[in-house]
């Protein structure tokens, strides 16, 4: 059995019902919108975020979920989908998960409006049902994701990212949404504030490990859907690169920064930068940091009794850093 199918096993019924509810939550009176949302639903990814919501809620409540859990999962997925649609416009990207992106098929104007529509549907789903506690969790995540993206853009111009700033960027950009999923799962079944915070932190640590793993793919030799060296070409400062820049001579640092600023379209130069980062120990350092977040996440689960839901969450933590793409 594939790992993702194994993780999904204890919540298979919930995920099937969720997919129906999620699809219904997107409907509109506008035929064009329905055509686009139908396209989105049929090209869904692994749906890791709703899986976190259901696994956490079932782990803390002895296997129970309720309507709030389903709404929480739908809100997360609606808002996550909205951010992906907007991201493709921002990045001028024509592909998403191997398919054409919304902006490639229907142009930027429509893509931005569809993203706005999904965002508002998510907010209204919470408001109409009085889930203000869940709405607060997701609203904080959306604010942080926007701040993280803008912080990264601001820092990319100067290429002066410290390791601390890098962690703050990935915490906001990536980890905050997974943290929101876990907090949402616990909150939906009325867990205590302390437990909600504990699981929010659990999600944050997984998100940090997930993003560092993504950064490592930039230096890999396997095809994972994004070409090697793409972060360097896009002038993104990732952990292996930051480490290398902090552990080299002034001369080497000058050469790397010049390469990224002025020669980032030169394939040979990009390959040289990748080789330099590997030689300086950037990859080993990033792997160590990633594993440290993995261990912190697993430690937070120790207080919970053994269950199939806890097993799946542990499997998910390990999958995040062992995945091949």
Q: What is the CATH number of the domain that holds 63?
A: 1.10.600.10
Residue 151 lies inside a defined structural domain of this protein:
yes
**pLDDT on residue 223:** 46
In a domain, 254, yes or no: yes
Per-residue pLDDT band at 259 (split at 50, 70, 90) = confident
In the chain, the N- to C-terminal Cα span, in Å, equals: 18
Task: Tell me, rounded to whole angstroms, the distance of Cα 109 from its chain centroid.
Answer: 25
Higher confidence at residue 79 or residue 96?
Answer: 79
- Identify whether 66 is part of a domain: yes
Closest CA to 216 of 291, 298, 146: 291
Q: Is residue 90 part of a domain?
A: yes
318 found inside a domain? no
The predicted model gives 98-110 an average pLDDT of 75
**Between 231 and 279, the higher pLDDT residue:** 279
Most confident of 46-50, 108-112, 123-127, 265-269: 123-127
Q: Phi/psi of residue 95, each to 5°?
A: -125, 150
- Tokens in use for 95? 């592909």
* 175 has a pLDDT exceeding 50: yes
Distances (CA, A) of 305 to 65, 144, 202: 18, 32, 16
d(CA 163, CA 288) in angstroms, rounded, equals 14
111 pLDDT band, cuts 50/70/90, is: confident
Region 163-191: mean pLDDT is: 94
More confidently predicted of 266 and 59: 59
Mean pLDDT of 65-83: 90
pLDDT at 98: 64
> Has residue 29 got a pLDDT over 70?
yes
Whats the size of the chain, residue-wise? 325
Q: Is the pLDDT of residue 23 over 70?
A: yes
Catalogue the E-assigned strands of the chain.
Answer: 95-96, 99-100
Model confidence band, residue 89 (pLDDT cutoffs 50, 70, 90): confident
Instruction: Indicate if the pLDDT at residue 241 is higher than 80.
Output: yes
| Residue 319 within a domain | no
Contact 230, 222 (CB under 8 A): no
Which domain does 72 fall in, by range? Answer: 3-308
Average per-residue pLDDT for the chain: 86
Ranking 66-80, 168-182, 205-219, 264-278 by mean pLDDT, the lowest is: 264-278
What is the model's pLDDT at position 218? 79
Report if residue 320 sits inside a domain.
Answer: no
Distance CA 162, CA 19 (A): 41
- The whole-number pLDDT of residue 224 equals 44
Residue 68 inside a domain? The answer is yes
Residues 6+ positions from 82 with CB-CB distance below 8 Å: 115, 116, 117, 118, 119, 122
pLDDT of residue 97: 62
Average pLDDT over residues 200-224: 84
Q: What is the tally of structural domains in the chain?
A: 1
Half-sphere exposure of 205 (CA within 13 A, CB side): 23
What is the pLDDT at residue 292?
95
């Amino acid at each position: 059995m594939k790992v993702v199918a194994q993780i999904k096993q204890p919540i298979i019924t919930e995920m099937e019902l969720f997919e129906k509810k999620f699809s219904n939550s997107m409907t509109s009176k506008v035929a064009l919108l329905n055509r686009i949302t139908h396209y989105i639903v049929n090209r869904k990814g692994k749906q890791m975020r709703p899986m976190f919501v259901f696994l956490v809620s079932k782990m803390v409540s002895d296997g129970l979920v309720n309507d709030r859990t389903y709404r929480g999962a739908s809100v997360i997925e609606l808002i996550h989908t909205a951010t992906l649609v907007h991201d493709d416009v921002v990045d001028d990207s024509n592909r998403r998960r191997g398919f054409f992106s919304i902006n490639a098929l229907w142009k930027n104007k429509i893509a931005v409006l569809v993203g706005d529509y999904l965002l508002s549907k998510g907010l209204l789903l919470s408001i109409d049902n009085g889930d203000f506690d869940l709405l607060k969790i997701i609203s904080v995540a959306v604010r942080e994701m926007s701040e993280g993206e803008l912080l990264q853009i601001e820092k990319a111009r100067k290429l002066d990212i410290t390791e601390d700033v890098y962690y703050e960027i990935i915490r906001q950009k990536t980890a905050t949404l997974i943290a929101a999923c876990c907090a949402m799962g616990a909150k939906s079944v009325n867990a205590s504030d302390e437990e909600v915070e504990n699981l929010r932190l659990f999600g944050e640590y997984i998100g940090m490990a997930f993003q560092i793993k993504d950064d490592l793919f930039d230096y890999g030799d396997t095809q994972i859907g994004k070409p090697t060296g793409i972060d360097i070409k896009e002038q993104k400062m990732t952990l292996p690169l930051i480490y290398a820049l902090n552990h080299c001579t002034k001369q080497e640092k000058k050469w790397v920064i010049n390469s990224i600023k002025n020669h980032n379209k030169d394939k040979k130069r990009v390959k040289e930068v990748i080789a330099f980062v590997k030689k300086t120990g950037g990859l080993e350092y990033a792997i160590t940091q990633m594993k440290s977040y993995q261990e912190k996440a697993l430690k937070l689960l120790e207080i919970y009794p053994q269950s199939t839901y806890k097993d799946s969450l542990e499997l998910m933590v390990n999958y995040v850093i062992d995945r091949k793409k």
